[in-house]
Each structure stands twice: as structure tokens, then as C-alpha cells.
Structure 1
Amino acid sequence: MSDSIVEQTAGRLATITFLDLSYCCKIGPRALEAIGKHCKVLVSLRRNMHPLDNADKPPQDDEANAIAATMPRLKHLEMAYNLVSTTGILKILASCSELEYLDLRGCWDADDLDEKFFKEKFPKLKVLGPVIMDAMDYRMDEWDYCSDYSDGSEYLSWGYPASELDDFDIYDALWGDDEDNMVLDELELRFYEGINEDAGMSGWPLSP
């Protein structure tokens, strides 16, 4: 598929509301402009790119300008790993007033548009990126969220008051006096909701 082919066929797509042009490296702003001019009811556009396709290339706002100029009704826009800059994103935000979802993951030339900016200027807009959260960081955040006890809590997570552990070894409190039998006294195991989806990724078996 090329720009010229899209320009020839865009008129036949006048009634579409969703279009996915992700990873199409042979089309550019001409194709997007043709689609925008003919597809007046388009509300969802995916224009994600592969990270390697745009590696070490300078920012280009031609596609962002085409989207801003011809697709004012967009509500859902994905531009992950695009070469768009801050200027291009601002043009889209100014023109697409109905936008509800914007994916900018990996758009490193627009990384000065942080979470604070979007919350202040576009509080109803859901934005992903430009910064990408590492999967391990996400899982650690989930575990931190599940903790019932702060560092300063007077009770430890296994149920012993911290003050009572000052005079004897912590392992004695856990295992009892009989080191040979090593029997756990009143072991408490807790399961939390909200982490089952990532459990398999962490090496833990999923709950039945």
C-alpha cells in the first residue's frame, strides 16, 4: 500500500469509523490527509509504528499536521513510537476537541508533555506515554499497594507486636523453641485481588 493507492481508494471508505494503519511504512501524510478528507465520520485511528522502524530518525510532524487538519472528530488516537514532536501533538489536541484517548508511548520527541501537563490542560483525556512504565516496576507497585503495614507499624505482618521481638531472636518467634521440628505457629497467608493477571508473568501459578 502506498500514498497514491490510498488517495485513489479513500473515497470508497467514506462511512468507516475505525481505521488501523499501524506499521504501514510506505504511507505518509498524503495518505492520512486523503483519509481525513473523505472519511468524515472517522472517530478511531491507529497509527502505531515499530520502534526499530523509526530508531535514530529526527522528529517529523507531517502526519500529525495531516491528522490535526482533517480529522477533528477523532475520539481515539494511537501513535505509539511515532516520530511526532511536542508541536505536532499540541496541534492535534487543539484541533481534535472530542479526543478521549491518546497513546503516545515511545514518542520520545514529545516527552516534555508529562502527566502533570495533561491533568491540568486535558483532565478528561486518557493518555498513555510518552514514558513507558517497565513491567517489573508495575508489578512492584502492585505489591507495594497490597501492603497492610507501614515501616513504622507497631505490628509486623506475621502478627507479633514489634516491641515483643526486642528480647529474643526473630526466628524463635516464628519457628518456636524446637529447632528440629521447625513447626510454624499460626502462619497467616493472605491473597489480594488485582494481581492475578500478572501472576503468571512473575512465575507464580494463577489462582484457580
Structure 2
Amino acid sequence: MDGSEIRCWDELIPDALGLIFSNLSLKDKLTVIPRICKSWRKAVMGPYCWQEIDIEEWSCRRQPEELDRMLQMLITRSSGSPRKLCVCDIPNDAIFSFIADHAGSLQTLQLPRSKISDSIVEQVAGKMSAITVLDLTYCGKIGARALEAFGKNCKLLVGLRRNMHPSDVGLYKFCQDDEAHAIAATMPKLKHLEIAYMLITTEGILDILSGCRELESLDVRGCWNVKLDEKFLDEKCSGLKVLGPSIMDSLDDSSDYSDSSGYSAWMFSTDQLYDGESSDGVWDDEQRLEELELRFYEGFDEEDDYGEEFE
């Protein structure tokens, strides 16, 4: 009215809107944006919103069927080509197999606290060859076989997190040097490695240093059997930043894994709800939107720590 330019946000092409909406929270993208207008609904249904899928906080304490449905929905929306996936507490091999089958372009995969097995990793790792950053923190059901499978198939791998929780150290009575050997033998391009609180010996670490010549940072906090000579590191591993194995001044045993590393900067960068329908008309039925909202909030209550972020 005053002669200033009028910006018609609803007329932006879906690709541009998708890139903008990708910066919003999971809650907003699923339950708010689709209700604004048809063009925004179409954009949020397209792949540009879902090149990076981060449901790590949401997935905590989810039931397997809830997690399965959400992953199927979001990976389908991404047209099967997400670059990054962050999800925790994967409860079984079937869900991991779905990820491998439908998200083969993943470059960053974070699976903390997941219960996947060595056997499923060996079966599907060949479908995940684009991975460069891998987070297997607190994944207690896998071992050297899974690491070897990832290493042999993910030739571009530069970052690996394999930290265990300090309170779980006593649960693992066996030496984990076989995992160190698997890393050394199959991951020569690693630049950043976190293996805090694993039962690894000095020999295991020397094996890694010999096989992973491009390492820039190494986290061995809580690896009490590791004794690294400072002179040796200066001579043989010039430029390598080593954290540990001494413990931090204070430690909260109940702390989440996200605070377990001093080198987190390198982590950069179900029944299907829609049955494969096109983006047009996906939300035409208001009841379906209400069902999704209920599913999204399901499980959150006043005593649920993970519900606070949406209050």
C-alpha cells in the first residue's frame, strides 16, 4: 500500500520453501507448516525438507512401532536420498535394515544407544557405502564384526564415535582389542576417532595408530589400560590431539552421551502413514493431521524429560 514490495511467500517454488523449512523443528514441520496453505504443505512433503533427518531427541523412549512409522514416513519424503540421519534407541535389526535399504545415500549416520546386531550390519553395510561419519555410541550389541563390515564397505569413513558409557565399563569383562584391530585394518582414512571407556589396551591403540595414519584427534578417556608415551606421540604422531585416558575432573554418571566427547565438532556436517500417496491431498483429510499430532506427542507427559522441549 505504501509502495513497498509485497513478498508472497506462498508463491515461492517448493524447492526454495523446502530449504527454508529444513531449518525448522521436527514438530513445526510435521504439525504446523502443513496447515498454513497448500503450497507450504506441498513443500514440506517434498525431499528438500528432509535431506537431513534429525529425530534423535524425539526417538528417545519411543515404542518400536512409533519409531518405525516415523522413519518410514520421513525417509519416504526424502525420496530415499537423505544425506544425514540422526536417530537413537533403534530397538531391532528390522528398522536398521529398512534404513539401509531406503537411504543408501547417507553420508552421516548417528545411531546412539541402538540395539543393532553384528549380523545385520554384515548383511546390509554394503548398501551404505557413502557414509563418512558414523556414530555407534553405546551400541552394546555390536562388536568387531560390525566395525569390520562398516570399514570394508564405507571407504570414505573419516569420523567414528564408538564411546561406551562410564557406568557400563564393569559390564564388559572381555578385552575389546579385536575392535581396535578392526578399526586399524579397515578404516585407514579416519581423521577423528572416539573410543572412550572401552576395554582397550595400549597394544590396541598402537594398532590403530599404525593403521590409521591420517588421525587428527583420538579420544581414549576412560581406557584405563592404555599408557601412551608422550615422547612417542610427539615423534610418531605429530599433530595428533589425544584426549585421555585420564577422566575429567567431575563426572555425572547420569549424563547423556552428548557430553562424552571433547571433539564433537566433527559431527557436522512402521505402517506407513501415507501409503505412497502423492503430496497433493496428503493432508486433505483433517483427521489424518490430528492423528499425526497425537502420534507425535504420544508418550510425552509432565514427568517425561524429553517432553519439556515442546512446552
Normalised-by-shorter TM-score class: 0.5 to 0.7
Percent sequence identity over aligned pairs: 67
2:186 equivalent to 1:63: no
Amino acid across the alignment from 1:26: K
Deviation of 1:64 after TM superposition, in Å, equals 0.3
Determine helix, strand or coil for the equivalent of 2:160. Answer: strand
Amino acid across the alignment from 1:60: Q
CA distance in 1, matches of 2:153, 2:131: 10
Residue 8 of structure 1 aligns with which residue?
123
1:54 to 149, 162, 169: 169
Higher Rg of the two aligned structures = 1
- TM-score, normalised with respect to structure 1: 0.61
2:223 to 84, 107, 121: 107
CA distance in 2, matches of 1:42, 1:108: 27
Determine helix, strand or coil for the equivalent of 2:225. Answer: helix
User: Could you report, residue by residue, the CA deviation over 1:30-73 in whole angstroms, capped at 9, with x for unpaired residues?
Assistant: 00000001000000000000122222724330100100110000
The runs of at least 4 consecutive aligned structure 1 residues that moved more than 6 Å come to none
Amino acid across the alignment from 2:181: N
Amino acid across the alignment from 2:155: K
Deviation of 1:86 after TM superposition, in Å, equals 0.5
Amino acid across the alignment from 2:242: V
Q: Cα RMSD over matched residues?
A: 1.7
Structure 2 unpaired stretches of 5+: 1-115, 252-311
1:21 to 126, 133, 136: 136
Check whether the contact 1:59–1:109 (CA below 8 A) recurs between aligned residues.
Answer: no
Kindly tell me: are residues 58 and 115 of structure 1, through their superposed partners in 2, closer, same or farther at Cα, counting changes over 3 Å?
A: farther
CA distance in 1, matches of 2:250, 2:225: 22
CA distance in 1, matches of 2:175, 2:229: 18
Check whether the contact 1:67–1:92 (CA below 8 A) recurs between aligned residues.
Answer: yes
Amino acid across the alignment from 1:24: C
- TM-score, normalised with respect to structure 2: 0.42
In the alignment of these two chains, the number of paired residues is: 135
Correspondence 1:80-99 to 2 at 5 A: 80-99=196-215
CA distance in 2, matches of 1:107, 1:14: 30
Check whether the contact 1:7–1:31 (CA below 8 A) recurs between aligned residues.
Answer: yes
